[in-house]
Amino acid sequence: MPPLDFDDHKTERAEAPDLSAPPCRNCDVVRELAFCADLSHDEIRRLATVRCHAQLPASFSVFREGDAADHVYSISSGAVKLYKLMSDGRRQIIGFLFSGDMFGLGLDGGYCYTAETLIPTQLCRFTHRKLDTMMDEFPRLERKMFTMTVKDLVAAQEQMLLLGRKTAREKVATFLLKLSRRAAQQGLPSSPVALPMSRADIADYLGLTIETVSRTFTQLKREGIIGLPDAGHVVLTDADGLRELAEGATGG
């Protein structure tokens, strides 16, 4: 397999990634969520022959907005943020992805966002060209790609609602519940919720300032709805109250 060419996308803190192509057992923990979830053993083995594997450090740019969209990526472990930059330099984070998630669909040959690791992350990389060839052989693979496209569309619609119609408290509550549900899907405890992203990342995702995010966390803690044992975790002390807040039932 040719080596992954990530060197042009290092950040200041990034180190050279560990590149290899081990047997396809990287997603055992999240097998039902992974790209190859519904494929047969033979199909998975065939898919592994066109896969590159990479161990990437935190804060590593997998690709940047506008780069040629030659590859699709699946997260074996770790976390990735997707974002777009405005002409004035402001950043809008459009998604946080975790184990089992895929990303990398492009438009008109180019990626429409930048992808950067939040923590040390293992990725599987597949070329669009080789996947297109395999989809002719394996219809289930084509269905997986279609599902991925629909999932991206649903996520975009949810993000529009989050940014446009919710108060700061409702946004933070919705965000925490989303992470909690995702953890449960991975077979992890729904609380405490891990926050691999910074407060600045959360602010750029929710369309808020860092000060508003920090103040909202503090208010929710004071009200006994959440606990903050450390900067990287949130305990859902009153999950029902958090859900009511997210739905606007408490008046925001």
Condensed to tens digits (0 to 9), the pLDDT of residues 150-183 reads 877 777 777 777 777 789 999 999 999 999 999 9
Domain boundary among 119, 135, 162: 162
Q: What is the CATH number of the domain that holds 183?
A: 1.10.10.10
207-214 average pLDDT score: 96
- End-of-domain residue from the set 130, 162, 194: 162
Question: Do 241 and 189 fall into the same domain?
Answer: yes
Structural domain ending residue among the three candidates 136, 162, 188: 162
The reply to whether 69 and 130 lie within a common domain is: yes
C-alpha to C-alpha distance for 138 and 50, rounded to whole angstroms: 14
How many domains does the chain divide into?
Answer: 2
Window from 17-31, 36-50, 193-207 with minimum mean pLDDT: 17-31
Provide φ and ψ at 72, rounded to 5°: -115, 145
Percent of the chain at pLDDT exceeding 90: 48
Looking up tokens 């083995």, which residue turns up? 45
In a domain, 96, yes or no: yes
Tokens for 112, please give them: 């429409």
Give the residue among 108, 147, 105 at the shortest CA–CA distance from 126.
Answer: 105
Asked whether the whole model's pTM tops 0.85, one would answer no
Q: How far apart are CA 10 and CA 147, in angstroms?
A: 31
Amino acid at site 91: R
- Whether 62 and 76 map to the same domain: the answer is yes
For position 35, what pLDDT does the model report?
64
With beta carbons less than 8 A apart as the criterion, state whether 251 and 166 touch.
no
The string of DSSP codes covering the chain is: -PPP--GGG--TT----EEE---S-TTGGGGGGSTTTT--HHHHHHHHTTEEEEEE-TT-EEE-TTSB--EEEEEEESEEEEEEE-TTS-EEEEEEEETT-EE--EETTEESSEEEESSSEEEEEEEHHHHHHHHHH-HHHHHHHHHHHHHHHHHHHHHHHHHHH--HHHHHHHHHHHHHHHHHHTTS-SSSEE--S-HHHHHHHHT--HHHHHHHHHHHHHTTS-EEEETTEEE-TTHHHHHHHHTTTT--
pLDDT at res. 37: 66
Distance CA 129, CA 119 (A): 29
Q: In what order do the strands lie in the sheet with 121-127?
A: 18-20, 51-56, 121-127, 71-77, 102-103
- Position 87 scores a pLDDT of 87
| Residue 2 belongs to a domain | no
Conformational region of residue 40, where left means phi above 0, alpha means psi within -120 to 50, and beta covers everything else: beta
Domain of residue 157: give its range: 7-162
Within a domain: residue 61?
yes
Q: Over the stretch 77-133, which tens digit does the pLDDT of each residue have?
A: 999 999 999 888 889 999 999 988 889 877 677 999 999 999 999 999 988 888 878
Question: Same structural domain for residues 182 and 158?
Answer: no
Residues 97 and 124 placed together within one structural domain of the fold: yes
Tokens of 180: 């909690």
**Claim to verify: residue 194 and residue 158 sit in the same structural domain:** no
Burial environment of residue 182 by CB neighbours within 10 A (0 to 12, 13 to 18, 19 or more): buried
| 53 shares a domain with 91 | yes
Domain check: are 75 and 184 in the same one? no
The type of residue at 39 is: L
